[in-house]
Structure 1
Amino acid sequence: MEKILPSTLNMEDFIAACQRPLRKSIRVNTLKISIDDFLLRAADKNWQLEPVPWCDEGFWIEADESVVPLGNTAEHMGGLFYIQEASSMMPVSALFQADDSYTSVLDMAAAPGSKTTQIAARMDNQGVLVANEFSSSRVKVLHANIERCGVRNAALSNYDGRVFGGWLPEQFEAVLIDAPCSGEGTVRKDADAMKNWSKESVISIAETQKDLIESAFHALKPGGVMVYSTCTLSREENQEVCHHLKAKFGELVEFESLKSLFPQAENALTEEGFLHIFPQVYDCEGFFVARIRKLGSAPAPEVKKRLGKFPFVKASNKVQQEIANQLKQTLDVSLPNDCSVWLRDNDVWLFPSALEPMLSEFKFSRMGIKIAEAHKKGYRWQHQVATALSNGSEKNCVVLSIDEAREWFMGRDVRPSDQSGQGEVLVKFGNDVIGLGKWVGNRVKNGLPRELVRDKNLF
């Protein structure tokens, strides 16, 4: 560490910063609520917020968690915010600088979903976001976070990121590769982060990172932008990985400076224009961020594809219109224009239209959102219709009291006082849609997916 510290920093400050607890930070999910409206909510709850300079939606937060942890607040469970380390918001901010907008983005190492949901919000649920995670056990957590945050433009996959360059060459306008790393920057959050550290493992991980960055580069369209980031500090896993890409692809690789990403960015700027962030500089985790542009086409690795039969069939215009009409009639929810309906047996799915060119080229584990199951009398609507398609102004809603909302989030049926109805209904707490239920007399049957149920210590 002492060898790689810039001359402007010293080892004493580095060690002192590593020993301080990490400040808690959150990111407002603008798919669900505006920043201004969230600030009003926070003031009501006596949450003290301090803006994160590199992310308009990001705030350091001081809140009394002695009774209710932030993760068990109604606002968190309703997807209005994400508990995310401040420095981890920087890669997505670097990808979406100024007026950058993209219709196809790859998040190559996506779980648990903090950056994936941040990208989806920056895309405003438009286009397609491919979220890949190599660890199959972590894909469940990724999906639960996408579901909670109302993301509908994502397609999930479960592969080693090294496959993308050959399987989906030049498909994406932007790629984020938040690479697996030795985690040297995370010691403030996890005192054991350095327990198994060795120089050999750093060099071994760097070889994997070089493979991943090459794959990401091949998957990028000419003219596209890639952000490479890690939560580690060693040059081997950071600058040297980027220089490896430059050495391999030469003039096709351009390093774009992050000097103007936010005020004081120059305090962590390297000579190449990367951000190499030591924990004492901004009082956050250690982090590395590089923004790279692809200036031309490069021949991709050749692969032999065996995809098997695609199990979905695109709905005819007539069927799609019938589904749209029934959804509007039943729940007062409209289907978005940039999606199409696909069918698999009795299941009805909504895929982002921008995904369609990739369907014949790649096998995804989950695409878009499941909106219904067909049965004899029509359609049985699913939870994500509420979280990803409704906006809270629909007429067919039932509003719960705080006690009823607690019961709802614990997976129980509720009996709203002096109310009854028929069929499916959007469930709200205050102005927030929190799920989909079904009237059975004066009881609303709970439709919350199992992975979103909490069992204690609620708001």
Structure 2
Amino acid sequence: MNNKTYIPDEFIADVASYIPAHLTIDDFIASCRSGLRRAVRVNTLKMSQQAFEHEAAKLNWQIEPIPWCAQGYWLTRPADEEASLPIGNTAQHLSGCIYVQEASSMLPPMALATSLTPGDRVLDMAAAPGSKTSQLAALMENQGVLVANELSSSRLKTLAANLKRMGVANCALSHFDGQVFGDYMYESFDHILLDAPCSGEGTVRKDPDALKNWSLASNQDIAEVQKTLIHSAFMALKPGGTLVYSTCTLTPLENQQICDHLLNAFPGDVEVISLHDLFPEADRAATEQGYLHVWPQIYDSEGFFIAKFKKTGSVENPQQKTKKGQFPFSPCSRKELQTFETSIRQQFGIASLPGQLMSRDKELWLFPQNMDALAEKIKYSRIGIKVATTHKNGVKLEHEFATCLGHLATNNVFALDPTQAKAYFQGQDIRLDATGPAQGEVILTLCDAPVGLGKWQKGKIKNKLPRDLVLNGQLITWV
């Protein structure tokens, strides 16, 4: 119980006016003051659930499946490990095999997942820090196109770093106010996730000061922004496509009333897809409209709201706009393509890559499949992954070539032990007991997942981890 959690009387009075009859305000306040269970999601782009469960048993991690996400688990680590090693510095996290993600925040991607098909074009309109984006990418199995947008520059950098660590290769990043998508990308997406900026009332169990700046006036101001965003999302959605709207707040001002705004704005062209049977016992949080209003005491989680809609008809948008400026990428020349493919085939046994290889100056980028129809509609911060840079003697492979595509390699792969992995993430070369068995570059793995590149040298592997990713402090092992 955290008695320092700030819960203003005005907030309690407001909640009391709309809390469902079968729930009590006392239970709500008690839940808000109680600690939040740690939850993690297995990143199936890098590790299977079976392998994670095996690893957890070896480490004496206590895990409990999260009912609405097959890849999600509540996790308790031994006390000595918890005290000496942050979970972000464990091998499982550093390798991108797990993502620390609050359990209820796994719900919006799962609501969208029931409609996904291979090759879909999907938009995550407010994506940072990347928990739901990487979850969507895994659910899409790195196929199709996932456009991840973030307005904040600093949060965009965090998003990009997380996607590289998690091995996401089918993503294009953009840096806009989400209001632009309805005009510039009119009816372009098969599915859209709008995890809208909100007042964050549901996050108080994680952040005791989450309600420090709470006010009804602020809720109302945020709701106006949410209305413009959901309108833009609906315009960007193809007829027949689905839209999931979610928030980590509780007030109907930012939840049910935003859904009402959408339904009233487009009568006859939108319908609610009920989520009452999304998972066993989902009906405990379901509203009469078919939304999920997750109160913290229902599943012992953060508060959340999730709604799903289907666009049943095309809606005219007279405000459509076209991006100005020349697209800076072009398909690779035959020579560039041959040089790159020969290099990765000889070094790693990789015969082909999913997607399209594109060139910008001397950079080689691997665009996701089905990107062609979206590529020139807006300006992107990045599309796909940067796999290499060309030079007069061949190509220099990039870090994310390894993190996102290293699983395709059949040779020149080296599995790090905990001591070697600690050295690698601290920017040190990896000492070997004998001379390396090969020459050139090598893909390094941890927990059987690719984490980066090295270069074979006598008695060691030269560290090629980008300097901005070097970590300090206790890693992987503990006392």
Superposed displacement of residue 273, structure 1: 0.1
- Checking the alignment, whether the CA contact within 8 Å between 1:148 and 1:452 is kept in structure 2 is no
Q: Cα distance 1:275–1:237, how it changes in 2: closer, same or farther (>3 A)?
A: same
- Checking the alignment, whether the CA contact within 8 Å between 1:333 and 1:390 is kept in structure 2 is no
Residues 374-431 of structure 1: CA deviation (Å, up to 9, x unaligned): 1111111111121111227621123333212101011222222213242111112353
- Name the SS for the 1:391 alignment partner: helix
- Partner amino acid for 2:129? P
- Give the distance between the partners of 1:451 and 1:44, measured in 2 at CA: 32
- Give the distance between the partners of 1:346 and 1:195, measured in 2 at CA: 50
Q: Cα distance 1:327–1:140, how it changes in 2: closer, same or farther (>3 A)?
A: same
* Residues 1:308 and 2:325 aligned together: yes
Residues 136-193 of structure 1: CA deviation (Å, up to 9, x unaligned): 1101100010000000000000000000000001111000000000000000000000
Partner in structure 1 of residue 6 of structure 2: none
1:368 to 384, 398, 412: 384
- Name the SS for the 1:224 alignment partner: strand
- Partner amino acid for 1:426? I
Residues 95-141 of structure 1: CA deviation (Å, up to 9, x unaligned): 01277555110000000000000000000000000000010110110
- Give the distance between the partners of 1:275 and 1:400, measured in 2 at CA: 44
Partner in structure 2 of residue 29 of structure 1: 43
Superposed displacement of residue 68, structure 1: 1.2
1:279 to 296, 299, 303: 296
Q: Cα distance 1:252–1:430, how it changes in 2: closer, same or farther (>3 A)?
A: closer
Q: Cα distance 1:422–1:100, how it changes in 2: closer, same or farther (>3 A)?
A: closer
Residues 358-379 of structure 1: CA deviation (Å, up to 9, x unaligned): 1221110011001111111111
- Partner amino acid for 1:351? F
Q: Cα distance 1:75–1:298, how it changes in 2: closer, same or farther (>3 A)?
A: same
TM-score, length-scaled by structure 1: 0.97
Partner in structure 1 of residue 159 of structure 2: 142
Give the gaps of 5 or more residues in structure 2.
Answer: 1-14
* Residues 1:294 and 2:308 aligned together: no
Q: Cα distance 1:179–1:321, how it changes in 2: closer, same or farther (>3 A)?
A: same
Partner in structure 2 of residue 377 of structure 1: 393
- Name the SS for the 2:371 alignment partner: helix
Partner in structure 2 of residue 14 of structure 1: 28
- Partner amino acid for 1:419? T
- Give the distance between the partners of 1:227 and 1:311, measured in 2 at CA: 32
Q: Cα distance 1:264–1:150, how it changes in 2: closer, same or farther (>3 A)?
A: same
Give the gaps of 5 or more residues in structure 1.
Answer: none
Q: Cα distance 1:55–1:214, how it changes in 2: closer, same or farther (>3 A)?
A: same
- Checking the alignment, whether the CA contact within 8 Å between 1:404 and 1:416 is kept in structure 2 is no
- Partner amino acid for 2:22? T
- Checking the alignment, whether the CA contact within 8 Å between 1:392 and 1:431 is kept in structure 2 is no
- Checking the alignment, whether the CA contact within 8 Å between 1:78 and 1:433 is kept in structure 2 is yes
- Name the SS for the 1:56 alignment partner: strand
* Residues 1:206 and 2:223 aligned together: yes
* Residues 1:69 and 2:86 aligned together: yes
- Checking the alignment, whether the CA contact within 8 Å between 1:28 and 1:57 is kept in structure 2 is yes
Among the aligned pairs, what percent are the same residue?
49
1:398 to 396, 414, 425: 414
* Residues 1:4 and 2:21 aligned together: no
Partner in structure 2 of residue 241 of structure 1: 258
* Residues 1:216 and 2:224 aligned together: no
- Checking the alignment, whether the CA contact within 8 Å between 2:130 and 2:162 is kept in structure 1 is yes
Q: How does 1:116-127 map to 2 (within 5 A)?
A: 116-127=133-144
Partner in structure 1 of residue 439 of structure 2: 422
Superposed displacement of residue 307, structure 1: 2.6
- Name the SS for the 1:260 alignment partner: coil
After superposing on structure 2, the runs of 4+ consecutive aligned residues of structure 1 that deviate more than 6 Å are: none
Partner in structure 2 of residue 173 of structure 1: 190
- Give the distance between the partners of 2:351 and 2:194, measured in 1 at CA: 34
Superposed displacement of residue 301, structure 1: 4.4
Partner in structure 2 of residue 453 of structure 1: 470
Q: How does 1:336-375 map to 2 (within 5 A)?
A: 336-337=353-354, 339-375=355-391
Partner in structure 2 of residue 409 of structure 1: 425
- Partner amino acid for 1:448? L
- Partner amino acid for 1:6? P
Residues 214-239 of structure 1: CA deviation (Å, up to 9, x unaligned): 00001111000000000000001000
Residues 288-331 of structure 1: CA deviation (Å, up to 9, x unaligned): 00001000100124244343122211114564244222211122
RMSD: 1.5
- Give the distance between the partners of 1:179 and 1:43, measured in 2 at CA: 37
Partner in structure 2 of residue 196 of structure 1: 213
Partner in structure 2 of residue 41 of structure 1: 55
- Give the distance between the partners of 2:442 and 2:207, measured in 1 at CA: 43
- Checking the alignment, whether the CA contact within 8 Å between 1:392 and 1:432 is kept in structure 2 is no
Aligned residues: 458
- Give the distance between the partners of 1:128 and 1:430, measured in 2 at CA: 27
- Give the distance between the partners of 2:466 and 2:351, measured in 1 at CA: 22
* Residues 1:160 and 2:177 aligned together: yes
- Checking the alignment, whether the CA contact within 8 Å between 2:439 and 2:457 is kept in structure 1 is yes
Partner in structure 2 of residue 388 of structure 1: 404
- Give the distance between the partners of 1:375 and 1:96, measured in 2 at CA: 42
Partner in structure 2 of residue 327 of structure 1: 344
- Checking the alignment, whether the CA contact within 8 Å between 1:165 and 1:301 is kept in structure 2 is no
- Name the SS for the 2:307 alignment partner: strand
* Residues 1:50 and 2:97 aligned together: no
Moved more, 91-100 or 230-239: 91-100
1:90 to 107, 111, 135: 107
- Checking the alignment, whether the CA contact within 8 Å between 1:27 and 1:84 is kept in structure 2 is yes
Q: Cα distance 1:148–1:296, how it changes in 2: closer, same or farther (>3 A)?
A: same
